[in-house]
Amino acid sequence: MNLLPIRVKSSPVAVRVIPFVLFLCLTAAQSSFGPSGQFWTYLAKTVLGGWLIWEVRPFIPEMRWRFSMSAIAAGVFVFVVWVGLEKFLRVLGVDPAFAAFKSSGPAWNPKEFFGDASLMAWVFIAIRILGSTLVVPPLEEVFFRSFVYRYIRQKDFESVPLGAFFPIPFLVTALLFGFEHHEWLSGILCGFVYQGLVCWKKRLGDAITAHAITNFLLGLYVVTQNAWKFW
């Protein structure tokens, strides 16, 4: 089953942008279907995102997972920043609410909706962790660090080396990445780390791995510490 036409797959821009945009549209619509709809929407976008990754991967040579100590360290570091920034801001005397957008939808907490002992709750928790670990990182890293970063530098973005450092694209890409997230300040700081990893290692795969490690650890933290606000 081919979800994307050949015309899309033959476009270097389209294969990097369309999967992310479709995923983002479903994310934006998550809270529009009521308390239970957000869980089913997450399932739908995870399945769609996984299938899109499968379809476009032959056309995006840099979308290859790479495992390195640098990627592991970066992933763990970003996780620590993500969960620890609130306390750090309090130490500085800054209201932590400053660092996050106000949520207009219901909390993404399957236990609260389905019940602590409900099988459905654990099914959706597993889906969330799998989706954020295996689907979100390739989609976001390809869009932001393979496409946006290089496109800001030059419209013929494929001619721009992945590992080249350019101050303006570096800053703008991190800002865009940050503002895509509820915790925008953490997102910006993490954008700096992931982009810096690409510039250092001269490849995208380490950032995909680091992003996956961050999201996996964050998922475990959310569930074990009941920190649902991070979801």
pLDDT in tens, 6-55: 767 779 999 999 999 999 999 888 877 777 888 999 999 999 999 999 99
In a domain, 176, yes or no: yes
Residue 202 located in a structural domain = yes
For residue 90, tell me if it sits in a domain. yes
- Chain-centre distance of CA 221, in angstroms? 17
Q: Is residue 7 part of a domain?
A: no
pLDDT of residue 2: 64
Cβ contacts of 182 within 8 Å, gap of 6 or more: 100, 101, 103
pLDDT in tens, 99-116: 888 766 667 899 999 998
Q: Identify the pLDDT of residue 104.
A: 62
Full DSSP string of 151-188: HHH-SSGGGS-TT---HHHHHHHHHHHHHTSSSHHHHH
Could you give the angle at which helices 205-225 and 119-130 cross, rounded to 10 degrees? 160
Residue 12 within any structural domain of the chain: no
Residue 149 belongs to some domain of the structure: yes
Give the per-residue pLDDT at 123.
96
123 is a domain residue: yes
Query: How many domains would you assign to the chain?
Result: 1
User: Does the predicted model carry a pTM greater than 0.75?
Assistant: yes
**Tokens 């009941």 appear where?**
226
Give the integer Cα–Cα distance in Å for 149 and 124: 33
Helices (H), 4-67: 6-9, 12-29, 34-56
Q: Which range of residues forms the domain containing residue 80?
A: 64-230
What does the mean pLDDT of the chain come to? 93
- pLDDT tens figures, 125-166: 999 999 999 999 999 999 999 999 999 999 999 999 999 999
Is 5's pLDDT higher than 90?
Answer: no
Phi-psi region of 115 (alpha: psi -120 to 50; beta: other; left: phi over 0): left
Out of 108-112, 176-180, 206-210, pick the least confident: 108-112
> Tokens 């619509």 — which residue?
29
Report whether 14 contacts 58 (CB < 8 A). Answer: no
- 171-180: long-range pairs with CB below 8 Å, 24+: 172/148, 173/144, 173/145, 173/148, 173/149, 176/144, 176/148, 177/140, 177/144, 180/24, 180/140
Contact 204, 68 (CB under 8 A): no
184 lies in some domain: yes
Q: What is the pLDDT of residue 1?
A: 57
Q: From 43, 15, 39, select the one nearest 147 (Cα to Cα).
A: 15
Q: Is the Cβ–Cβ distance between 148 and 161 less than 8 Å?
A: no
Q: Show the tokens assigned to 77.
A: 């570091």
Query: Per residue in 83-100, pLDDT tens?
Result: 999 999 999 888 888 888
